[in-house]
Amino acid sequence: MITLLLASAFIVGLYFYFVRNYNYWEKRDVKFIKPLPLLGSFPDPLFLKESFTQMIGRWYRMYPNEKVVGYYVASTPALLIRDPELVKRVLITDFVNFHHRGIHPDPNGIEPLLNNLFFVEGDMWRSLRQRMTPAFTSGKLKAMFPLIVERAEKLQARTLNAARGEKVIDARDLMARYTTDFIGACGFGLDADSLNDEDSAFRKLGQETFKMDAREALILYLKGLFPRPVRFLKILGRLENQVFSLVSNIQKQRNFKPSGRNDFIDMLLEYQNKGPIEIESLEKVKPDGTPDRATVDLTDRLLAAQVFVFFAAGFETSSSSTSYTLHQLAHNPEVLKKVQKEIDTVLSRHGNKLSYDAEGMRMFPSLGYLMRKCTRDYTFPEINLSIDKGTMITIPAQSLHKDPLYFDNPEEFRPERFDPQNSKGRNKLVYLPFGDGPRACIGERLGLMQSLAGMAALLSKFDVEPAPGTKRDVPVKPQFDIVQTVQGGIPLLFRERKKVE
């Protein structure tokens, strides 16, 4: 009897603990998504019924006249930002109040692969960003471009073999192999050759990186809910040995010094040999109120984590955007002809070689949303709304991209809407495929470069059309994840162009 009473008391106590904040948005007169105890406002992604991007898109459409919409992550208040001016405050103007992403489930290093530039917070983020930014200058990118050309030629060869055999190609897999090979070359100094090797170990590593089953989704949720009790549970534990072993072997081959390859590992080894990174702190202040100094040491494990995110983000985002663009072009042949004409014109100026100089990301951004976390109590002056430190912020990038208020006929694939004369006057904060502000994607230009080169390599030689059974609307995997993933691939047919004018 006593055991039953104790269990009942525990359950009741747990219930009240989880509902304790459920009047947060009501007290602030903010419309909100009704939460469920323990689950918060979004059970569907947890049970793999819809993706998080799809869910917040539904909320976005539910409240067309609101600048913000409240919701709950378990018992933590969170805010969906619908207004571009408020987006600007979070990402740019008042960045110092929102410099955390708030999606790092392991701030204490239990899961070392997540201690990378995308996930880390505060001084660790600022120091890594400062050190890694020089790797993405114009000069560095131009030096990488020959590597892209080599992989683009292999992309053409693989596609030619399929076209001549009238074989259906999964464009999602094709472009992932192309971007994997490039990232392997410019990041690791390796020839992954996944375009020719169906069983490429590098390609398998990429596929494993973005797998998330129900168990891992639950672990991610529990880490946010009970960070201390479940800190020993890992999401990426299955990849650690592979990644650390790969990076360690490359370091040994180079005697822990830059090799002259000028790839990403060379750059990190150079920075590692310079010693600890010292920066002006985002989080610590001196007694006089001025920022203190912070120091971060680029250990071998921290170095490996940066290589991991360079690989993961580099191949996944570009392959997602290019394959989706190919899908749209296959269903819009008149647009395809316009794009091919433009490519032919550019290539003819450069001896039919791809040049460094030259809508799919609007319709299907790899990251359908951006996350931030309020680092101190804050008031949005435009709407006189005060929120507390720790409040989560969601910016629904894909929903903004598809809002007819900013893009007329948003479901229509029309690349010319981004011509300078057509986009003049459009608020830049309604198009966020790479984010914006100090935490915008550091590899934006590299991603665009490899994507445009891959598209030009294919469309200069091939027409693309839907394969039998191709679905017009690409289904998205219903998983609680950061990067949107297509369900079942994107099957397309490529045919050699008969005549290039």
High-pLDDT (> 70) share of the chain, %: 88
Asked if residue 99 is part of any domain, the answer here is yes
Q: Which of 39-48, 368-377, 386-395, 429-438 has the lowest mean pLDDT?
A: 39-48
Average pLDDT over residues 86-99: 96
Q: Decide if pLDDT at 401 tops 90.
A: yes
Count how many domains the chain has: 1
Q: Decide if pLDDT at 403 tops 90.
A: yes
Average pLDDT, the chain: 86
pLDDT at 481: 66
Say what angle helices 300-330 and 201-209 make with each other, to 10 degrees.
90
Q: Decide if pLDDT at 385 tops 50.
A: yes
Q: Decide if pLDDT at 47 tops 90.
A: no
pLDDT at 464: 96
pLDDT at 227: 65
Closest C-alpha to 74, from 114, 160, 14, 138: 14
Other beta carbons within 10 Å of 291: 13
pLDDT at 198: 81
Range(s) of the domain holding residue 312: 2-496
Asked if residue 336 is part of any domain, the answer here is yes
Q: Alpha carbon of 261 to those of 105, 183, 269, 298, 301: distances in Å?
A: 35, 14, 12, 20, 21
pLDDT at 278: 87
Asked if residue 124 is part of any domain, the answer here is yes
Structure tokens at 15: 């219930």
156-165 confidence digits (pLDDT tens) = 999 999 999 9
Asked if residue 501 is part of any domain, the answer here is no
Asked if residue 312 is part of any domain, the answer here is yes
Average pLDDT over residues 131-153: 85
Q: Decide if pLDDT at 52 tops 80.
A: yes
Asked if residue 196 is part of any domain, the answer here is yes
266-295 confidence digits (pLDDT tens) = 888 988 888 888 888 888 888 887 888 988
Task: Please tell me which residue, 65 or 205, carries the higher pLDDT value.
Answer: 65
Asked if residue 117 is part of any domain, the answer here is yes
What CATH number is associated with residue 488?
A: 1.10.630.10
CA atoms 31, 35, 40, 45: torsion sign: negative
Q: Decide if pLDDT at 9 tops 70.
A: no
371: CB partners within 8 A, 6+ apart: 101, 102, 103, 392, 393, 394, 395
Considering the entire predicted model, what is its pTM?
Answer: 0.88
Q: Decide if pLDDT at 480 tops 80.
A: no
Q: Which of 186-200, 225-239, 330-344 has the lowest mean pLDDT?
A: 225-239
Asked if residue 113 is part of any domain, the answer here is yes
Q: Decide if pLDDT at 500 tops 70.
A: no
230-243 confidence digits (pLDDT tens) = 767 777 778 888 88
Task: Please tell me which residue, 159 or 357, carries the higher pLDDT value.
Answer: 159
Most confident range (mean pLDDT) of 168-177, 224-233, 237-246, 468-477 is 168-177
Structure tokens at 308: 């991991």
419-462 confidence digits (pLDDT tens) = 888 878 889 999 999 999 999 999 888 888 888 889 999 999 99
pLDDT at 357: 42
Name the burial class of residue 469, with classes exposed (0-12), middle (13-18) and buried (19+) by CB atoms within 10 angstroms of its CB. Answer: exposed
Other beta carbons within 10 Å of 201: 12
**pLDDT class for 366, splitting at 50, 70, 90?**
confident
